[in-house]
Amino acid sequence: MRIGLIACDILEPELEHLVKDDPDFVHKEYVEFALHAYPDDMRAKLIEKINALKGKVDAVLLGYAVCQSLGGITEVVDVPTVMLEGDDCICVLLGANEYTREKKICTGTWFSSPGWAREGMDGLIKEMHLDSVEGVDPMYFADMLFESYERCLYIDTGVKDENGEYHRKSEEFACQLRLKHDERRCDLRNLEERIEKVKQLARSLS
Protein backbone atom coordinates (compact mmCIF):
# COMPACT_ATOMS: atom_id res chain seq x y z
CA MET A 1 0.00 0.00 0.00
CA ARG A 2 1.05 3.58 -0.59
CA ILE A 3 0.38 6.31 1.97
CA GLY A 4 1.02 10.03 1.66
CA LEU A 5 1.72 12.25 4.64
CA ILE A 6 1.03 15.98 4.50
CA ALA A 7 1.54 17.59 7.88
CA CYS A 8 2.26 20.79 9.75
CA ASP A 9 5.95 21.04 10.53
CA ILE A 10 5.10 21.67 14.20
CA LEU A 11 4.31 17.95 14.40
CA GLU A 12 7.32 16.87 12.34
CA PRO A 13 9.35 15.65 15.38
CA GLU A 14 6.58 13.29 16.50
CA LEU A 15 5.51 12.08 13.05
CA GLU A 16 9.08 11.43 11.91
CA HIS A 17 9.66 9.52 15.14
CA LEU A 18 6.76 7.24 14.21
CA VAL A 19 7.00 6.85 10.41
CA LYS A 20 10.59 7.69 9.45
CA ASP A 21 11.45 4.10 8.49
CA ASP A 22 7.95 2.98 7.53
CA PRO A 23 7.99 1.83 3.86
CA ASP A 24 4.22 2.33 3.56
CA PHE A 25 4.73 6.09 3.63
CA VAL A 26 5.90 6.80 0.09
CA HIS A 27 5.36 10.57 0.20
CA LYS A 28 6.05 12.92 3.10
CA GLU A 29 5.68 16.67 3.10
CA TYR A 30 5.82 19.07 6.04
CA VAL A 31 4.12 22.43 5.52
CA GLU A 32 5.33 25.65 7.12
CA PHE A 33 3.43 26.20 10.37
CA ALA A 34 2.98 29.95 9.84
CA LEU A 35 0.34 29.16 7.21
CA HIS A 36 -2.07 28.97 10.19
CA ALA A 37 -2.12 32.76 10.14
CA TYR A 38 -4.14 32.55 6.89
CA PRO A 39 -6.84 29.93 7.60
CA ASP A 40 -8.64 30.11 4.25
CA ASP A 41 -5.39 29.99 2.31
CA MET A 42 -4.23 27.07 4.44
CA ARG A 43 -7.36 25.07 3.66
CA ALA A 44 -7.08 25.75 -0.07
CA LYS A 45 -3.38 24.90 -0.14
CA LEU A 46 -3.85 21.62 1.73
CA ILE A 47 -6.70 20.56 -0.57
CA GLU A 48 -4.43 21.28 -3.52
CA LYS A 49 -1.58 19.25 -2.02
CA ILE A 50 -3.83 16.27 -1.23
CA ASN A 51 -5.43 16.29 -4.68
CA ALA A 52 -1.98 16.38 -6.29
CA LEU A 53 -1.39 12.90 -4.86
CA LYS A 54 -4.33 11.35 -6.70
CA GLY A 55 -3.15 8.17 -8.42
CA LYS A 56 0.16 8.29 -6.57
CA VAL A 57 -1.02 7.05 -3.17
CA ASP A 58 -3.91 4.96 -1.86
CA ALA A 59 -4.62 7.24 1.10
CA VAL A 60 -3.34 10.36 2.83
CA LEU A 61 -2.67 11.09 6.47
CA LEU A 62 -3.30 14.80 6.97
CA GLY A 63 -1.16 15.78 9.93
CA TYR A 64 -3.39 18.59 11.09
CA ALA A 65 -6.08 19.03 13.69
CA VAL A 66 -9.18 21.10 12.90
CA CYS A 67 -7.09 24.28 13.34
CA GLN A 68 -9.95 26.77 12.76
CA SER A 69 -10.53 26.11 9.06
CA LEU A 70 -10.06 22.41 8.32
CA GLY A 71 -13.38 20.97 9.46
CA GLY A 72 -14.86 18.64 6.82
CA ILE A 73 -11.79 18.78 4.62
CA THR A 74 -11.68 14.99 4.21
CA GLU A 75 -15.06 15.14 2.48
CA VAL A 76 -13.98 17.51 -0.30
CA VAL A 77 -10.64 16.06 -1.43
CA ASP A 78 -10.04 13.60 -4.26
CA VAL A 79 -7.92 11.15 -2.25
CA PRO A 80 -9.20 9.14 0.75
CA THR A 81 -7.84 11.04 3.74
CA VAL A 82 -7.57 10.64 7.50
CA MET A 83 -6.86 13.70 9.63
CA LEU A 84 -5.91 14.09 13.28
CA GLU A 85 -8.47 14.41 16.06
CA GLY A 86 -8.48 17.58 18.12
CA ASP A 87 -8.97 21.31 17.95
CA ASP A 88 -5.24 21.98 17.59
CA CYS A 89 -1.89 20.21 17.69
CA ILE A 90 -1.60 20.37 21.49
CA CYS A 91 -4.99 18.69 21.84
CA VAL A 92 -3.76 16.01 19.43
CA LEU A 93 -0.71 15.33 21.60
CA LEU A 94 -2.27 15.53 25.06
CA GLY A 95 -5.81 14.42 24.29
CA ALA A 96 -8.83 16.57 25.07
CA ASN A 97 -9.12 15.57 28.74
CA GLU A 98 -5.49 16.24 29.64
CA TYR A 99 -5.50 19.46 27.63
CA THR A 100 -8.49 20.69 29.60
CA ARG A 101 -6.91 19.58 32.88
CA GLU A 102 -3.72 21.54 32.22
CA LYS A 103 -5.73 24.64 31.34
CA LYS A 104 -7.58 24.31 34.66
CA ILE A 105 -4.28 24.03 36.53
CA CYS A 106 -3.23 27.34 35.00
CA THR A 107 -5.49 29.24 32.64
CA GLY A 108 -2.60 31.37 31.39
CA THR A 109 -0.54 28.52 29.93
CA TRP A 110 1.51 28.57 26.74
CA PHE A 111 1.90 24.98 25.55
CA SER A 112 5.35 24.24 24.19
CA SER A 113 5.68 20.98 22.25
CA PRO A 114 9.06 20.07 20.67
CA GLY A 115 7.92 21.65 17.40
CA TRP A 116 6.86 24.87 19.06
CA ALA A 117 10.00 24.94 21.21
CA ARG A 118 12.12 24.55 18.07
CA GLU A 119 10.45 27.61 16.51
CA GLY A 120 10.94 29.67 19.67
CA MET A 121 10.40 33.40 19.80
CA ASP A 122 11.18 33.82 16.10
CA GLY A 123 8.32 31.46 15.29
CA LEU A 124 5.90 33.35 17.51
CA ILE A 125 6.85 36.66 15.90
CA LYS A 126 6.36 35.16 12.45
CA GLU A 127 3.01 33.51 13.25
CA MET A 128 1.55 36.59 14.96
CA HIS A 129 3.09 39.12 12.53
CA LEU A 130 4.62 40.94 15.49
CA ASP A 131 7.26 42.47 13.24
CA SER A 132 4.75 44.21 10.99
CA VAL A 133 5.18 47.68 12.49
CA GLU A 134 8.39 49.24 11.28
CA GLY A 135 10.59 50.63 14.00
CA VAL A 136 8.80 48.84 16.85
CA ASP A 137 10.52 45.99 18.67
CA PRO A 138 8.39 42.82 18.20
CA MET A 139 8.95 42.01 21.87
CA TYR A 140 6.80 45.03 22.73
CA PHE A 141 3.81 43.27 21.15
CA ALA A 142 4.84 39.88 22.53
CA ASP A 143 4.83 41.28 26.06
CA MET A 144 1.36 42.68 25.47
CA LEU A 145 0.05 39.38 24.11
CA PHE A 146 1.44 37.42 27.04
CA GLU A 147 0.40 39.83 29.76
CA SER A 148 -2.15 37.35 31.14
CA TYR A 149 0.07 34.27 30.76
CA GLU A 150 1.74 32.74 33.80
CA ARG A 151 3.60 29.66 32.63
CA CYS A 152 5.12 27.85 29.69
CA LEU A 153 4.44 24.11 29.79
CA TYR A 154 6.91 21.98 27.87
CA ILE A 155 5.39 18.73 26.61
CA ASP A 156 8.00 15.98 26.43
CA THR A 157 6.62 13.66 23.76
CA GLY A 158 9.54 11.22 23.94
CA VAL A 159 11.06 12.18 20.59
CA LYS A 160 14.82 12.31 20.11
CA ASP A 161 16.14 15.55 21.57
CA GLU A 162 19.78 16.14 20.67
CA ASN A 163 21.57 17.59 23.71
CA GLY A 164 18.22 18.58 25.20
CA GLU A 165 17.75 21.31 22.57
CA TYR A 166 13.94 21.26 22.58
CA HIS A 167 13.83 21.54 26.35
CA ARG A 168 16.48 24.25 26.39
CA LYS A 169 14.68 26.34 23.78
CA SER A 170 11.40 26.00 25.67
CA GLU A 171 13.10 27.31 28.83
CA GLU A 172 14.62 30.13 26.79
CA PHE A 173 11.18 31.11 25.46
CA ALA A 174 9.75 31.15 28.99
CA CYS A 175 12.64 33.30 30.20
CA GLN A 176 12.16 35.82 27.39
CA LEU A 177 8.53 36.31 28.44
CA ARG A 178 9.17 36.00 32.17
CA LEU A 179 6.98 32.90 32.51
CA LYS A 180 7.31 30.03 34.93
CA HIS A 181 8.57 26.95 33.10
CA ASP A 182 6.96 23.57 33.82
CA GLU A 183 7.13 20.29 31.96
CA ARG A 184 5.22 17.05 31.62
CA ARG A 185 5.37 13.85 29.59
CA CYS A 186 2.86 12.46 27.12
CA ASP A 187 2.81 9.46 24.83
CA LEU A 188 2.03 9.41 21.12
CA ARG A 189 -0.99 7.16 21.37
CA ASN A 190 -3.30 9.55 19.53
CA LEU A 191 -0.95 9.85 16.57
CA GLU A 192 -0.37 6.10 16.51
CA GLU A 193 -4.12 5.50 16.34
CA ARG A 194 -4.48 7.82 13.33
CA ILE A 195 -1.53 6.16 11.58
CA GLU A 196 -3.19 2.79 12.08
CA LYS A 197 -6.49 4.18 10.80
CA VAL A 198 -4.95 5.49 7.56
CA LYS A 199 -3.19 2.15 7.09
CA GLN A 200 -6.48 0.30 7.45
CA LEU A 201 -8.03 2.68 4.91
CA ALA A 202 -5.16 2.23 2.44
CA ARG A 203 -5.23 -1.53 2.92
CA SER A 204 -8.91 -1.67 2.09
CA LEU A 205 -8.38 0.31 -1.13
CA SER A 206 -5.11 -1.14 -2.43
Structure confidence by residue, pLDDT tens digits, 78-115: 999 999 999 999 999 999 999 999 999 999 999 999 99
* 111 contacts 103 by C-beta, under 8 angstroms: no
pTM, entire model: 0.92
* pLDDT top residue among 71 and 54: 54
Question: How many other CB atoms are found less than 10 A from the CB of residue 22?
Answer: 13
For domain 3-90+188-205, give the fold: Rossmann fold (3.40.50)
Is the pLDDT at 131 greater than 90, yes or no?
Answer: no
Structure confidence by residue, pLDDT tens digits, 115-129: 999 999 998 998 888
Q: Where in the chain is the domain with CATH 3.40.50?
A: 3-90+188-205
Distances (CA, A) of 1 to 36, 47, 82, 202: 31, 22, 15, 6
Structure confidence by residue, pLDDT tens digits, 55-84: 999 999 999 998 878 989 999 999 999 999
